[in-house]
Amino acid sequence: MARPERPFQIGIQRFGLGAGPSSRERLGPDIRAALLDEIRPERARIGGEGLPTTARGIQIVTQIEDKRRMEREARRQVAQQGPAAAMAEANGSAMAAAGMPANPAANPPDPEAVRLRDFLHVDIKARIDHGLAAPAGFAERWVMFWSNHFCIALRRGQIMQGVAGPYEREAIRPHVFGRFADLLVAVETHPAMLHYLDQRQSVGPNSPAGQRRQRGLNENLAREVLELHTLGVGGGYAQADVTAFARALTGWSITGFEENVDGFGGFVFAPNRHEPGPQVVLGRTYGQEGKEKGLAILRDLARHPATARFLATRLARHFVSDSPPPALVAALEAEFRKTDGDLAALARVLVTHPESTRAPPSKIRTPYEFVLASLRATGAPADRLQGLVNALNLMGQPLWNPPGPNGFPDDEAALVAPKAIKTRLEFALQFARPLGGRIDPRELAETLFGEALSAESRQAIARAETRPQGLALLLMAPEFQRR
Amino acid sequence: MDARYCERLPLSRRGLLGAGMSFFAWAHMPKIASAAGAKDPRFLTIILRGAMDGLSAVAPVADPDYAALREGMALTREGESAGLPLDGFFVLHPAMKTFARLYAEKKGLVIHAAATPYRERSHFDGQDVLETGLPGVGKVETGWLNRALLALPKGEKLPRLGALGVGIATPLVLRGEAPVMGWAPQRLAETNDDLARRVLDLYTHRDPALARALKAGLTADQLAQGGAAMPPGGGDPGMMARAATGAARLMMKEEGPRVAVLSFDGWDTHANQGGVRGRLADLLAGLDGAFAAVEREFGEAWKDTAILVVTEFGRTARINGTEGSDHGTATVAFLVGGAVRGGRILADWPGLKAQHLHDGRDLRATTDLRAVMKGVLADHLGLSPAVLGEAVFPGSGLVKPLPDLVV
């Protein structure tokens, strides 16, 4: 059994999803080479027959919404049909109140809710399986970073359940090792983002629809693109830029929600909501027609110097340290500008820069990283999907459901919180118990941490009362929690 | 375990604190057939994980060196620290009232100064040797009890009905080719105070930031539970009776298993072990409650029942600097049930003088625990000495089964 060297242990935890019992043997001593080998578009993609699509997701959601609307309508008509019908209805309620179900199959799980959850779970399972199969997991970590950078949230209405999974596979994964501009356009034109940041409700005040319906601009998407996706706070834009950009984006919408447009779940431009006329953003005038105006602004934002700096800082903070080495940030920024936002080149700088591995492990693994690393370390099957979903919920980072458009935090202050750490302990124990002592935690600690294993952790694991307790200690050890 | 209940409260704080929460709902059931045999014995093995202190459970109060070694927590014949009477030389820990009664009824047997062949001090390895039934540490993935079931005639009722492993995972002693079903009481998953203490100790030495957060998280939990201080020990004494009750009910079903294994954690009493009262007393009371639960649930079947209680090794003869005891060697085993020839203490007492202690620190083993296990399996389940010496406990040919343990 090969015992990993310190650089290997740091590399696979900082940039990957963590080692398994045979990772060191399979990947060899050169973890950098293994990480570089994952900088390939096909490593980031999840494909395959039968995976959900945004079109299908929106179709399901609209079917459910239509059905509920019809049921409401039917009830309303019953109520209007006079006393007899109302009595029949009331009788049913009385029977139910007396403990006699009006319907023999009382309180079945809402079939629509189950259908939507199952639809979502196909994608969650595909994502977890992809992470477990990855040799080192760098491509997946890179996807996870961009998915969080361009986050959407399940909490924003039922439609999100139909689009959250497909969104990552359709808009993010195909572009994470391509150009940032292409990633940006794919994300901002995806139905999931257009819905999440209210874009389909935004109406140009001087557009035909705006004139008719007295509805106006919604700046949400425009603001978050500037503040969170590209330039960053302090990136040199003003409120006038936000408003002008928001006007340029009017008319961007989703098929399935537009009258007179066929299909589900595609991007569609609705000219009758588009604010006419040129817009000035960051001092440049955009006079393109239709959706081209917004796209042109996005492409310019993607290559803006402030964007290069903002992304370089976020990357270094996420992967390396809450206080990232300035030389690393500078190198990432320079590479971004030199290559016009080539994300594969950026990834190569990240994993090969000397400052990337010099810093001691100080970042806490996110809950998702922790869960994946636990599965990879033990080889435990990810067959209790609901259990893993619950665990992420309880650890405060429910998958694809951050509290706001700035995504989940990954800094020490946010992750090293009392309840969060206590919950990790609960997870570690419940995770370790079913493995039933088939794993010797002393051996596993050596094969996972090797040279990085501290004397204190080694002793604590060896002295555990039972093997499951020893395994739980291993999972909670700083060597496992920090990367 | 109601899996749907768990799934419906994904964001609830009650999920952490309340009953029935598990990240992983879990259950599996055995294949069972029908038909009936003549004799219908029932056999439970209880494994105490963490190394139970035999000198506290059954104290040799007449040994002249005992009181000094156990200064401050020694049991006595009379007075405030009095144990329950057994035979004059030993007293029973006062928390074990049910066992005391069963002993008086000659249904409880104590085997003292017993140990497996393992002489190191790792819990994992010690439990491995205890459960595999091998002479030493080895990579064997089957347990002696499973191999015993496999060695019984195929058509017989007992092997056909299979065995029950209580807990989230099948314990090693029961792993193997013979059919095993699993069941876990709902609250089993919540016994983690001992783990919390160990993780906190590790963080205190290695990672102050994580230590602060965990400490605050644990304190918040205490407040949420009504301000009660975290119990000083690991394990969950109340859980033992619940687990035993559940297991006994399954074993009372017509086609239910006749053999079961329960594992109770928390016996690693390095600190604040306590005397008449305290951490170990609570655990012993819990174990005692398990005996009472099985007796109650079994009713008529109790007369054909034997419960074997074993632990991986004992603890140091002398208490340590933190009012606890460290990993040792020999300890007690209990055998209890209607089929047991009890009211006796089997002990070739080695004495507690320094020169008699193993490595100068532990109660020396004078009985090989395998002799106890083999004796029960021979008389209670009807396995031959030859099978026991080869298939069930390989390499134990020289360890004779103890005779007359059960009726």
The domain locations on chain B are: 37-189+238-392, 192-233
CA of A48 vs chain B CAs: smallest distance (Å): 28
* Alpha-carbon span A191 to A430, nearest angstrom: 38
Least confident of B153-162, B176-185, B220-229: B220-229
* Alpha-carbon span A295 to A306, nearest angstrom: 18
- A437 contacts chain B (CB < 8 A): yes
> Which amino acid is present at A169?
R
- Partner-chain contact B23 A390, CB within 8 Å: yes
Least confident of A239-243, B18-22, B280-284, B396-400: B18-22
- A454 contacts chain B (CB < 8 A): yes
Q: What is the pTM of this model?
A: 0.83
> Which amino acid is present at B234?
G
pLDDT given for residue A85 in this prediction:
53
Average the pLDDT over B352-357 and give the result. Answer: 97
**Res. A94: pLDDT tops 50:** no
Q: Looking at the DSSP assignment, which residues form a beta bridge with residue A269? A: A252
pLDDT given for residue A24 in this prediction:
94
In sequence order, the 6+-apart residues with CB closer than 8 A to the CB of A84 are: none
- Partner-chain contact B202 A473, CB within 8 Å: yes
Are A465 and B200 contacting, i.e. CB atoms less than 8 angstroms apart? no
* Alpha-carbon span A369 to A364, nearest angstrom: 9
pLDDT given for residue A97 in this prediction:
40
ipTM value for the complex: 0.88
pLDDT digits (tens, 9 = 90+) for A189-198: 999 999 999 9
CB contacts, 8 Å: B172 with chain A = 436-437
For residue B47, the SS3 value is: strand
**Res. B160: pLDDT tops 50:** yes
* Alpha-carbon span A440 to A466, nearest angstrom: 10
* Alpha-carbon span A68 to B136, nearest angstrom: 67
Are A287 and A278 contacting, i.e. CB atoms less than 8 angstroms apart? yes
Do β-strands B84-85 and B91-92 pair in parallel, antiparallel, or remain unpaired? Answer: antiparallel
Higher-confidence position of B217 and B81: B81
pLDDT given for residue A79 in this prediction:
80
pLDDT digits (tens, 9 = 90+) for A161-189: 999 999 999 999 999 999 999 999 999 99
- Partner-chain contact A477 B202, CB within 8 Å: yes
DSSP letters, A160-185, are HHHHHHHHIIIIIGGGTTSBHHHHHH
- A300 contacts chain B (CB < 8 A): no
pLDDT digits (tens, 9 = 90+) for B42-79: 999 999 999 999 999 999 999 999 999 999 899 999 99
- Partner-chain contact B205 A456, CB within 8 Å: yes
For residue A402, the SS3 value is: coil
**Res. A324: pLDDT tops 80:** yes
* Alpha-carbon span B173 to B164, nearest angstrom: 11
CB pairs under 8 A between A and B: 163
- A391 contacts chain B (CB < 8 A): yes
* Alpha-carbon span A62 to A56, nearest angstrom: 10
Average the pLDDT over A212-220 and give the result. Answer: 87
- Partner-chain contact B15 A473, CB within 8 Å: no
- Partner-chain contact A421 B210, CB within 8 Å: yes
Average pLDDT, chain B: 86
- Partner-chain contact A419 B123, CB within 8 Å: no
Q: Nearest by CB to A470, which of B124, B265, B267? A: B124
**Res. A315: pLDDT tops 90:** yes
Short-list B170, B191, B265, B6, CA closest to A425:
B191
B185 — pLDDT class (breaks 50, 70, 90): confident
**Res. B226: pLDDT tops 70:** no
Q: Which of B6, B11, B23, B170 to mutate to test the interface with A (most CBs of A within 10 A)?
A: B23
- Partner-chain contact B192 A429, CB within 8 Å: yes
Token pair of A421 as six digits = 């750490």
CA of A341 vs chain B CAs: smallest distance (Å): 37
The phi, psi pair for B166, rounded to 5°, reads -90, 125
B332 — pLDDT class (breaks 50, 70, 90): very high
CB contacts, 8 Å: A444 with chain B = none
Higher-confidence position of A149 and A261: A149
Q: Nearest by CB to A418, which of B23, B213, B265? A: B213
pLDDT given for residue A50 in this prediction:
82
pLDDT given for residue B230 in this prediction:
42
Residues for chain B: how many in total? 407
Average the pLDDT over A66-94 and give the result. Answer: 70
* Alpha-carbon span B110 to B333, nearest angstrom: 6
Token pair of A74 as six digits = 């039917």
pLDDT digits (tens, 9 = 90+) for B107-123: 999 999 999 999 999 99
In sequence order, the 6+-apart residues with CB closer than 8 A to the CB of B21 are: B6, B9, B14, B15, B189
**Crossing angle, helix A418-432 and helix A385-394, to 10 degrees?**
160
Short-list B317, B369, B360, CA closest to B54:
B317
The phi, psi pair for B334, rounded to 5°, reads -115, 145
pLDDT given for residue B28 in this prediction:
30
**Res. A57: pLDDT tops 80:** yes
B249-254's contacts with Cβ under 8 Å and 24+ in sequence apart are: B249/B297, B250/B164, B250/B181, B250/B183, B251/B42, B251/B44, B251/B164, B251/B298, B252/B297, B252/B298, B252/B299, B252/B301
Q: Looking at the DSSP assignment, which residues form a beta bridge with residue A286? A: A279
**Nearest residue in chain B measured CA to CA from A476:** B199
pLDDT given for residue B139 in this prediction:
81
**Nearest residue in chain B measured CA to CA from A113:** B8
Between positions 397 and 436 of A, the ones with CB within 8 A of B are: 398, 412, 416-423, 425-431, 433-436
CB contacts, 8 Å: B196 with chain A = 425
**Nearest residue in chain B measured CA to CA from A395:** B11
Token pair of A479 as six digits = 């060597």
* Alpha-carbon span A259 to A194, nearest angstrom: 17
Tell how far CA B287 is from the center of its chain.
8
Are B6 and A385 contacting, i.e. CB atoms less than 8 angstroms apart? no
The H-or-E segment that residue B115 falls in is strand B108-115
**Res. A274: pLDDT tops 80:** yes
**Res. A432: pLDDT tops 70:** yes
Residue with tokens 């030993």: B90
* Alpha-carbon span B108 to B93, nearest angstrom: 14
pLDDT digits (tens, 9 = 90+) for B370-407: 999 999 999 999 999 999 999 999 999 999 999 999 99
**Nearest residue in chain B measured CA to CA from A401:** B11
pLDDT given for residue A390 in this prediction:
92
Average the pLDDT over B8-14 and give the result. Answer: 28
Q: What are the Cα distances from residue B39, in Å, to B295, B306, B336, B403? A: 19, 14, 19, 20
- Does the domain formed by B37-189+238-392 have CATH 3.40.720? yes
Do β-strands B91-92 and B163-166 pair in parallel, antiparallel, or remain unpaired? Answer: unpaired
The phi, psi pair for B261, rounded to 5°, reads -125, 130
**Res. B351: pLDDT tops 90:** yes
pLDDT given for residue B235 in this prediction:
59
Average the pLDDT over A428-436 and give the result. Answer: 89
pLDDT given for residue B5 in this prediction:
28
**Res. A96: pLDDT tops 60:** no
* Alpha-carbon span A117 to A98, nearest angstrom: 32
Higher-confidence position of B14 and A162: A162
A83 — pLDDT class (breaks 50, 70, 90): low
Q: Nearest by CB to B202, which of A412, A428, A457? A: A457
Residues for chain A: how many in total? 483
Residue with tokens 């004078």: B366
Q: Which of B7, B24, B140, B222 to mutate to test the interface with A (most CBs of A within 10 A)?
A: B24
B31 — pLDDT class (breaks 50, 70, 90): very low
Count of alpha carbons within 13 Å of B286, Cβ hemisphere only? Answer: 24
Token pair of B261 as six digits = 């294994």
pLDDT given for residue B23 in this prediction:
41
- Partner-chain contact B25 A389, CB within 8 Å: no
Q: What are the Cα distances from residue A276, in Å, to A286, A297, B129? A: 11, 16, 81
Higher-confidence position of A209 and B237: A209
CB contacts, 8 Å: A465 with chain B = 49-50, 123, 194, 234, 265-268
pLDDT given for residue B8 in this prediction:
27
Q: What are the Cα distances from residue A272, in Å, to A244, A245, A292, B230? A: 18, 18, 15, 66
In chain B, what's the furthest Cα-to-Cα distance? 64
A107 — pLDDT class (breaks 50, 70, 90): low
Average the pLDDT over B17-27 and give the result. Answer: 34
